[in-house]
Amino acid sequence: MDFRFTPEQEQLRQDIRRFLDEHVSAELRAEIATSAHTPGPLARCFLRLLGERGWLGIGWPTEYGGQGRTMLEQMIFYDELDLRDIHYGGLTITSLAMTLMKLASEEQKRTYLPRILRGELEICLGYTEPGAGSDLASLITRAERDRDDYVITGQKVFTTGAHYSSHIWLLARTDPGLPRHKGLSVFIFPLDSPGITVRPLYTMGRIRTNEVFLDHVRVPASAMIGAPNSGFHTVAVALDFERIFMGKYARLRRNFSDLVACCRKLSRNGRTLLEDPVVQDRLVGLHIAIERLRLLCFKSAWKVDRGQVPTAEASAQKVLASELEQRLADEGMKILGPCGQLESGSPHAPMEGRLVDAWLLAPMMRFGGGTNEIQRDIIAQRGLGLPRA
C-alpha cells in the first residue's frame, strides 16, 4: 500500500505548475476572478494554448493524439487547473470526447476529436427539459427523420455552457412508439444551426446557464451518435466518464486552507480567530471531512487506472463534495464573523469573497449532475446491491 504519488507524478505536478506560472497572466487571473464561470476571451485563448501544448489530451489514448496518461495523472492535472480556476473545457474533454472515441463513427471522430484537442470546439449537454430533470426518460424534444436528416423541435433548460460552446450534445426522442427510455437518441451539432435560440438563465449562484429552444432544427442523420434509439446507452457511457469528475476536492481543500490562513491573520478581542478553541474545533471537523473526500477521489482514480468502474465511489464523491462545499461555506462564514458575508470586491471582504461564492453555488452542487438523493440510490443499489423499491 502506498498513498503517495510517484516521483514522476510529482514531477508532472511541478511541470504543470511551472507551465501555469509562466502562462497564466495577471490579466487572465483578473478575467477569471470576475467571469462568474463563463470563460472570457483570455480564457478561450488559454484553452487553445492548452490544446497547442498537448495538455487537453492528457487523458486521451495516444491513437487519438492524446498523452494516454493515467487517471491519477489526469487528476493531478485537473486539480492544478482547478486550484487556479482555469477553464479547460470541462466535460467536452473528460467525458464527451471519450464517448465519441467509444461510440462515434470514424467520420465523427475525424470531424470532432482533432478540433476538441486543439481547444477550438466545446460541447454543452442538452439533456434536461422543463418536465424532465431527475427523470430524464420523460423528455419530449422530438427528432423526426426526414430523408437524410433529422428535424429537431423542443426545449432544453439548464443548458450550462450553451452561450460559449460551439456544439450541443443533445438527447431527443426519435421513436415515441417505444418505451420511454428506449426511443431516445443522441445528436451532436453546431449551436449556430438555423432554428436554435439560446437564452440566458441567470442563477442565484451567479453562474449563467441557458434555455435552448429548437425550432425545426435540421441536422444530418450523420449527427447521430451510435445507432438510432440508443441514446440512453450513449448518455450512460458519457456519465460513466463524467461521474468521476463530479465530486472534486482541490478547490475545497484550497478554500479550507485559505480559511485557516485567514483565521491566523484576522483577530477578534485580542487574539487571532485561530486561537479560539471553538474555531479550532470547527476547523478540525471540516479538515477531517475534506481528507475523507480526498481519499475517496484517490480511490476512484486508482480504480479507473486498474480498469474498474468506481460506481459507488464516484457517487459518494459527488455527495460528499457538494455537502461539504455547503458546510464549509456556511461554517466558514460563521467563523469569520460579520465580515464573512462580504463579497469579492467589498471593503473588508475576507478570502476575496470566495466563501460567499461557494455558499451561493453550493445548492446547485447538491441537486445538479444527478441529485444527491439519486446518487445515494446509486450507491445503495448499484454499489451495495440493495433491491430497487
Partner 1 sequence: MDLEFNEEQAQAAEAARRFLARECPATLVRRVREGRPAHPDALWAGMGAQGWLALPFAEKYGGFDADWVTLGAVIEELGRACDPTPFIDCVVSCGGLIQDAGSEAQKQRWLPALGRGELLVSLAMLEVATDPDPEQVATRLEAAGSSYRLSGRKLFVERAAGAHLLLVTAREAASGELRLVLVPAQEPGVELVRLQSFAHPHLFEVRLDDVAIDAGQILGEGADAMPHLRRALQCTAALLAAAAAGGSQRVLEMTLAHARERQQFGRPIGSFQAVQHMLADVWTDVETARLAAYEAITELHLGRAADEKVAIARCASSETFVRSCFTAHQIFGGVGFMWEADLHLWTRKAKEIELACGGTVLWRRQLATLL
C-beta separation of 171 from 186 below 8 A: yes
Among 28, 235, 296, 324, binds partner 1 (CB under 8 A): 296
Report helix, strand or coil for 50. Answer: helix
Query: Which member of 31, 80, 122, 242 is catalytic?
Result: 242
Among 1, 26, 204, 278, binds a copy of itself (CB under 8 A): 278
Question: Which candidate, 149, 132, 161, places its Cα nearest to that of 187?
Answer: 149
Sequence-separated (6 or more) residues with CB below 8 Å from residue 328: 252, 255, 256, 259, 286, 290, 355, 358
| Comparison of 307 and 387: residue with beta carbon closer to a copy of itself | 387
Strand partners, 261: none
Q: Among residue numbers 114 through 143, which ones bind a copy of itself (CB under 8 A)?
A: none
| Comparison of 282 and 366: residue with beta carbon closer to a copy of itself | 282
| Comparison of 110 and 334: residue with beta carbon closer to a copy of itself | 334
| Comparison of 204 and 278: residue with beta carbon closer to a copy of itself | 278
Q: Is 389 in the site for a copy of itself (CB under 8 A)?
A: yes
Segment contacting a copy of itself (CB under 8 A): 12-20, 117-125, 185-193, 272-280? Answer: 272-280
d(CA 105, CA 270): 68
Among 100, 223, 225, 364, binds partner 1 (CB under 8 A): 364
d(CA 63, CA 79): 25
Q: Among residue numbers 181 through 220, which ones bind partner 1 (CB under 8 A)?
A: 201-205, 209
C-beta separation of 248 from 321 below 8 A: yes
The C-alpha cell at 121 is 470546439
Q: Is 211 in the site for a copy of itself (CB under 8 A)?
A: no
C-beta separation of 329 from 358 below 8 A: yes
Q: Is 387 in the site for a copy of itself (CB under 8 A)?
A: no
**C-alpha radius of gyration, the chain, whole number:** 22
Q: Is residue 242 annotated as a catalytic residue, yes or no? A: yes
Q: Is 277 in the site for a copy of itself (CB under 8 A)?
A: yes
Residue 100 DSSP code:
H
Sequence-separated (6 or more) residues with CB below 8 Å from residue 15: none
Among 10, 236, 284, 308, binds partner 1 (CB under 8 A): 284
Q: Among residue numbers 3 through 62, which ones bind partner 1 (CB under 8 A)?
A: 3-6, 9
Q: Which does 388 bind (CB under 5 to 8 A by kind): partner 1, a copy of itself, none?
A: partner 1
C-beta separation of 49 from 117 below 8 A: no
Name the helix (H) or strand (E) containing 267: strand 267-268
Q: Is 271 in the site for partner 1 (CB under 8 A)?
A: no
Among 78, 164, 187, 359, binds partner 1 (CB under 8 A): 359
d(CA 301, CA 73): 9
Amino acid at 275: E
Report helix, strand or coil for 153. Answer: strand
Least distance from C-beta 189 to partner 1, angstroms?
Answer: 24
Q: Is 72 in the site for partner 1 (CB under 8 A)?
A: yes
Q: Is 250 in the site for partner 1 (CB under 8 A)?
A: no
Q: Is 388 in the site for a copy of itself (CB under 8 A)?
A: no
Among 331, 336, 354, 369, binds partner 1 (CB under 8 A): 336
Residues 221, 225, 231, 233: is their CA dihedral positive or negative?
positive
Q: Is 347 in the site for partner 1 (CB under 8 A)?
A: yes
Q: Which does 276 bind (CB under 5 to 8 A by kind): partner 1, a copy of itself, none?
A: a copy of itself
Residue 132 DSSP code:
B
| Comparison of 103 and 124: residue with beta carbon closer to partner 1 | 124
Q: Which does 138 bind (CB under 5 to 8 A by kind): a copy of itself, partner 1, none?
A: partner 1
Q: Is 288 in the site for a copy of itself (CB under 8 A)?
A: no
Question: Which candidate, 155, 259, 269, 274, places its Cα nearest to that of 217?
Answer: 155
Active site (catalytic) residues? 242
Q: Which residues bind a copy of itself (CB under 8 A)?
A: 276-278, 280-281, 389
